[in-house]
Structure 1
């Protein structure tokens, strides 16, 4: 077997950088041991990364029991640059700035109600320029997330009018000359659960997002599964038997989507807008009409989750839904309905830890992978390590 030396070198470079991102602060000798690479190779790659400014040295670690020189420890240099993650939703877009280590800040939500798509794109461009002006570091790339079907960075279908077949990545990539990554929101949520929950916690998971559409992001053996032309996880359009008349069928979106449920609640409360405080108050006050709507939602959602559990047998199913974040007590009802289903596999049902920012942070992770050249490798963010460091001498 002939091994291409260039490919081997590239592979080694990626693995060394991955070690520094995931395990830093870390020494060259520890990287060498972890990867079973000789110290000369690791030192050569380490020096190149240091010269490029992609990593930085932060102090000395503890010497071995045998004494000797204390190792110099290195971290990813978060001042090298930053990324943006933007979600385009039905009546707003949300934006988040992220460091290369996954730490986020400057979340913003901008209303686009009654605004056409061209104006929305101009608003997004203005907001990006504002972020650039506020940061001294370089913008390295950004991610767009939306409800729809995306394949090979192209929008094949979208919930928002005008976005289908629009080359959003090229539109903004040409304007700013940096990488743009497109993904649907469910896939972004799945990436978030994989990369921010801790190393190896979820190797097989399904993240279900409930917004205008009901979608599933699927991680299998640590990798995002998109299916044929990105069609995996488009569960909102699947038929679902009616609770009372099995011969009657509507789509999952009809029964479970946030839009459908909130419309019923607004009609019940005789309001023309969503009042989250009123919803919470009426729920705690046992308003029977509201409880009936939410019971229907829980019942149909349980049907969907039962099918997912049986079909994919994931380690867990993570739910990203504002209505469940508002009323987490509903999870007990959903679990109860799932328990009554005659299915062999009932995966744990969990609420995502950060519904508001989960998909945005998943998008940030996707673009961080891209700009670091680590698309095919696992990155674990927010990995806090207790390391004894001494300041480097200037």
Structure 2
């Protein structure tokens, strides 16, 4: 029993030292020992172990203290320890991202899909992974894989994904067997929330909410720094909330104000078989009357569902993740102003670069899973291509 206890303490101390490397751009052994209140010899032993494994990059000597003495050796997490991959399968696209272990983006790619067959898409993912493995500049190569799913995920299984047909294929099991690394699946809105938590708004909110407006509408909930998933992963499905439609019938709110709903209504108004998002954005910029009317009606519904979500979950801050807002930022500004008028007095932000948010969240959960540190707070490197707009 004593040996088991010592082993557990040893593992915990190792994870705490790793956490210090993630959460400080530069540090020293002395600083780590002081921050964790762990004796220097224990920290040195763990440091040497992590250094031998390739986690640590030595940066040279820092400045000595006012009292003089030896200059400390500055160190940081070595991003080239390894890399993670993340994928998001949309209705007509596959998004692919590779990140170093510190979260820094190595590459991002969006591939248009002409073929929706899942086996074809999986082969494309495999090809990209194999190419990256052949050309990567890290010590240990691929560490883990994350998937962003537009639907409900429970216990690493897709429970309900209305915009993605896997044909019964277990994605996690398949890629774990193919590449022999941990593979994690999570809901897209949840991942956008994880992105905001882990890549650092610099304000470090313990409780935050992201509202994702894509094909559907979902909310990602961070409560006390942890992702709240609800029973069987069903928390945050705000797009499935029921509201009264034009004819008095009950309808899901996402049937009125999701991007998919807006596209379908405008296409119907114009007698078109279908309408692409890019066509929608262009029509709106041209002040097309029918388009402006449909969008205005959808935004009225979105204002109410966003207000109710904020009131219901009680976050410290709320973030909106939407390609519609990326392309037409005045719609976000109208929503923000409406919420403020209706007494939402917490910080309201838009994630600019929304197409990357869930992939960055997927990279974070992949990094956490590889390290076996799912419950630990790790600060990852903020990407240059994404920003939070007030």
TM over 0.5: yes
Counterpart in 2 of 1:391?
Answer: none
Mark the CA change 1:175 to 1:365 in structure 2 (over 3 Å): closer, same or farther. Answer: same
Match among 171, 177, 181 for residue 178 of structure 1: 181
Mark the CA change 1:211 to 1:164 in structure 2 (over 3 Å): closer, same or farther. Answer: farther
- 1: CA distance, partners of 2:309 / 2:167: 27
Cα contact 2:263–2:274 (8 A) shared by 1: no
Counterpart in 1 of 2:230?
Answer: 227
Give the secondary-structure state (helix, strand or coil) at the position aligned to 1:26: coil
Q: Deviations over 1:89-145 (max 9, x none)?
A: 122210001011111132111222343122222222222222222224311111011
Cα displacement (A) at 1:206: 1.1
Cα contact 2:263–2:276 (8 A) shared by 1: no
Counterpart in 2 of 1:15?
Answer: 16
Q: How does 1:325-336 map to 2 (within 5 A)?
A: 325-336=326-337
Structure 2's unaligned 5+ residue stretches are 384-390
Mark the CA change 1:234 to 1:130 in structure 2 (over 3 Å): closer, same or farther. Answer: same
Counterpart in 1 of 2:377?
Answer: 378
Q: How does 1:182-261 map to 2 (within 5 A)?
A: 182-242=185-245, 247-261=248-262
Counterpart in 1 of 2:151?
Answer: 148
- 2: CA distance, partners of 1:332 / 1:199: 22
Cα displacement (A) at 1:314: 0.5
Q: Deviations over 1:37-82 (max 9, x none)?
A: 1111111111110011111211111111111111111111111111
Q: How does 1:113-128 map to 2 (within 5 A)?
A: 113-128=114-129
Counterpart in 1 of 2:363?
Answer: 364
Give the length in aligned residue pairs: 379
Q: How does 1:14-33 map to 2 (within 5 A)?
A: 14-33=15-34
Mark the CA change 1:345 to 1:333 in structure 2 (over 3 Å): closer, same or farther. Answer: closer
- 2: CA distance, partners of 1:282 / 1:152: 42
Cα displacement (A) at 1:162: 3.4
- 2: CA distance, partners of 1:65 / 1:76: 27
- 2: CA distance, partners of 1:26 / 1:221: 27
Structure 1's unaligned 5+ residue stretches are 385-394
Cα contact 2:146–2:365 (8 A) shared by 1: yes
Mark the CA change 1:271 to 1:63 in structure 2 (over 3 Å): closer, same or farther. Answer: farther
Give the secondary-structure state (helix, strand or coil) at the position aligned to 1:356: helix
Q: Deviations over 1:341-374 (max 9, x none)?
A: 5xx7554332113202111011001111111222
Counterpart in 2 of 1:353?
Answer: 352
Mean Cα displacement is larger for which, 191-200 or 351-360? 191-200
- 2: CA distance, partners of 1:72 / 1:254: 58
TM-score scaled by structure 1?
A: 0.89
Query: Looking at both structures, which has the greater relative contact order when contacts are Cα pairs under 8 Å and sequence separation is at least 6?
Result: 1
Q: How does 1:34-113 map to 2 (within 5 A)?
A: 34-113=35-114
Mark the CA change 1:16 to 1:198 in structure 2 (over 3 Å): closer, same or farther. Answer: farther
